[in-house]
Chains A and B, each alone.
Chain A
Amino acid sequence: MIDSALVVDRGVTARDEWITVPAERVRDALAALKKDGYRLLVFLSCVDHLVDSSRAFAARYEVIYQLRDLEKPADLRVRAFIDGDPPRIDSVHDIFPPANWDERETYDMFGVVFTGHPDLTRILMPDDWVGHPLRRDYPVGGEVVEFSEEHEIWQTAPDEA
C-alpha cells in the first residue's frame, strides 16, 4: 500500500479515481503504486492552469500520470503540482519505460524539465523551435505562413530610406 504521507489529496471526478502526491516525492509515490499493481503507465501529460478561477490549484502546472492495474482492471490518476521557471520534476522513465517519450513531449510542449531523463530533447517540434506551444500564454497566430503574401513581404528587405 502507498504510504499515506505520500497522498496529499484523493478523490473521484467523473468516475475517475485520482490522488495528488507531493511533486518532490513523485518517484517514491509511483514506485509504491507500481508495487501495488498499477504496472502500466497509460500516459503522462501536463495541464497549464494559468488564470483558471474555476477551482483552487496548488501551482500552475499539473503533471498527470494515468496508471492502470491490468489485473483488476482499474485506473488511477496521479497528480503533482509544480511551479517555477522552468518547472522541474523528477523523471520516472526508469520506473515506467513508456514515460520516456511522454516526458520528452511534455518538455517540448510545456517546458517541464524532467530531472534525470537521459535525452530530454524536443520530440514533436523542430529542434530550433523557441517556446513551448501548449502553455496557455504562448502567442497564437504569431507565425507567418510560409509562401503567403505576408511571408514574401517579410522576406523582402526594406528599401533604404
Chain B
Amino acid sequence: MIESPGVTVSRTGEQGAFGGELLTVNFGPHHPSTHGVLRLIVDLDGEQIRRVQPVIGYLHTGIEKQMEALRWQQGVVVTDRHDYLSPPINNLAYALAVEKLMGVEVPPRAQVLRVIMSELTRLSSHLVWMGTSGLELGAMSMLMYCFRERDTIMDLNEEISGFRMHTSYIRPGGVMADSTPRFLEMLDKFIREMPGHIDEYEDLLTMNPIWRARTIGIGRLPAEDAKVLGASGPMLRGSGVAWDLRKSIPYSGYETYDFEIAVSNDCDCYGRYLVRIKEMREAVKILRQALDRLPDGPVNVDDRKMLPPPREELETSMEAVIHHFKLFTEGYSVPPGDAYVAVESGRGENGCYIASDGTHKPRRVKFRSASFVNLQALERMALNHMIADMIAIIGTADTVLGDCDR
C-alpha cells in the first residue's frame, strides 16, 4: 500500500467487514468543504465510515481571554468575530447578558431594530450555508444566486452600521445608531423581493435529482439522539424536535411576532435543508412584521453612566463632559454576579455566560457555541455512510469553525 501525505495506513490491523483492514484517513484541516479548518480522523472500511474523530482548535483565537482584558463596552467588537457568519446575533447574546446582570431594559425601538438585524443575519447565514453546500454537492450556480442576496444584506448592514460584516451594531444598552430612512426603504424593497428569490432557490434544489440523491437518507440523526447529544438549531429541528429559543425562551420581544417553528421529520441532510428554507421564509415574515411595527423613540437607554452623552450636549454641559471622560477612560462597571442568555442563531443556541466581579472588565465571558456542541454529533451522523457523504454531512451540520474554536 502506498503511503502519501495525509493518508496513513492503520497500525491497528483491525479487520473490516469486507475482508480488508480498516484504513485511517486524515481529512482536512484544509479541505474546502470543512468551512474553516476542521480536521477529521476517519477510519474507513472500504469506503464506509466506521469511526470519526474530529480534531478542532485550528481557529482558536482566545476570544474569551481577550474579553477579560477589554472593558464591558469594548467586548462587543470581539463578539462579532467568533461566529463570523452571524455577528449581530453574537452581539445580541452578549448585550442581553450584560443588560440582564445590570437590570437594564432597552427601549422598544431598539428591541425591534435588534430583531430586524437578527433576522437579516439569520437569512445571510443560511444563504452562505446554502450557497456553499450547493457548490460542494454539485449545484454550482447556487453560490452565485445566494451571494447575490447576501450582498443585499451586506448593503443593509453597511447602511445601518457602516460595516458590511462585523457590524458591532447591537451593544449593551441599545444599538449603535438609529436606522436611516434609506435603510428602511432598502429593507422594504428587500422584504418584497426575498420570497421570490427563495422560490428560485427551491426551484433549483428542492426537486433537483442530484441534490436529493446526495441528501435524502444521508446523515441520519434520530430525534432521541439529537436531544441526548445536545444538538440545537436546524440540526435539532431537522430531527423533528420543535424547539426554538425564540418561542421557548423568548428574548427581545420575539413572543409578540407571529411565526412558525420550522420542523422536519426527515432526520437527514434533506430535512435540515428543508428546515433552513422554511426558516428563511419565516425570517422574511418576521422582518415584515418588525418593519410595520417599528415604533418611534430613542434607541438607547437613557443612562449617562452606561452610554456616552449625545455630541451636542458636550459643548454645553460640564456634566456631559465628565460622563464622556469617565466612560472612555474607565468604562462602566457591572454589579457582581453572573448571568446566562441564550439566543437562537442560524446554527442553534449561541449563548453568552458572563461573570462579573464588580469592576469595569469582565471576570469571565464564556460563549456557548452551537457549532461546538453540534460537531459532537458528527460521528453519530456519519457512521456507516460513504466517505463522499461526509461532505454533505459536514455541510448540512453547518458548523462555523471560528464559532466552534472561539
Contact = CB atoms under 8 A, between A and B. Distances in A.
Contacts of A22: none
Contacts of B278: none
A16 B230 contact: no
A54 B375 CA distance: 37
Interface string A92-133: 000011101100010001000000000000111110000001
Interface stretch (A2-10, A24-32, A39-47, A153-161): A39-47
A14 B376 contact: no
A42 B338 contact: no
Contact of A47 (B60, B243, B363, B376): B363
Given A125-B57, A126-B57, A133-B65, A54 B357 contact: yes
Interface stretch (B146-154, B178-186, B321-329, B365-373): B365-373
Interface string A33-73: 00000011111010111001111000000001010001001
27 contacts: A13-B337, A13-B338, A14-B101, A14-B103, A14-B337, A16-B340, A40-B227, A42-B349, A42-B351, A42-B368, A47-B338, A47-B363, A47-B364, A49-B357, A54-B336, A54-B357, A64-B353, A66-B368, A70-B227, A70-B243, A73-B249, A77-B340, A97-B229, A98-B229, A100-B376, A101-B373, A125-B60
Residues of B contacting A: mostly: mixed
A66 B249 CA distance: 15
Nearest to A50: B363
Contacts of A126: 57
Contacts of A140: 65, 69
A39 B243 CA distance: 14
B246 interface: no
A64 B373 CA distance: 17
B237 to A, nearest CB: 13
Contacts of A55: 336, 357
Contacts of A41: 230
B62 interface: yes
B155 to A, nearest CB: 35
Given A15-B100, A98-B376, A43 B357 contact: no
B361 to A, nearest CB: 11
B233 to A, nearest CB: 13
Interface in B73-111: 100-101, 103
A43 B376 contact: no
A67 to B, nearest CB: 11
B65 to A, nearest CB: 6
Interface residues of A, number: 39
A136 B229 CA distance: 31
B124 to A, nearest CB: 26
Contacts of B353: 43, 45, 64, 66
A122 B60 CA distance: 12
B291 interface: no
Given A40-B227, A77-B340, 17 more contacts: A14-B338, A15-B339, A40-B230, A42-B342, A42-B368, A43-B351, A47-B355, A49-B363, A52-B363, A54-B358, A54-B359, A64-B353, A73-B249, A98-B376, A101-B375, A109-B64, A124-B56
Interface of A: 13-16, 39-43, 45, 47-49, 52-55, 64, 66, 70, 73, 75, 77, 96-98, 100-101, 105, 109, 122-126, 133-134, 138, 140
Nearest to B64: A134
B12 interface: no
A101 B340 contact: no
B338 A98 contact: no
B363 A13 contact: no
Interface string B58-69: 001010110001
A118 B225 CA distance: 20
Contacts of B357: 49, 52-55
B366 A43 contact: yes
Q: Which 7 pairs across A and B sit closest by C-beta, in order of nearness?
A: A98-B230, A54-B336, A43-B368, A14-B339, A54-B358, A124-B57, A124-B60
B405 interface: yes
B248 interface: yes
B330 to A, nearest CB: 17
B335 to A, nearest CB: 9
A16 B339 contact: yes
A55 B363 CA distance: 13
Contacts of A15: 100, 339
A40 B226 CA distance: 11
Contacts of A47: 338, 355, 363-364
Contacts of A14: 100-101, 103, 337-339
B65 A123 contact: no
A140 B346 CA distance: 33
A109 B366 CA distance: 11
A66 B60 contact: no
A47 B238 CA distance: 34
B293 to A, nearest CB: 26
A13 B339 contact: yes
Nearest to B231: A98
Interface centre among A97, A100, A125, by most chain B C-beta atoms within 10 angstroms, is A97
Interface in B343-390: 349, 351, 353, 355-359, 363-364, 366, 368, 372-373, 375-376
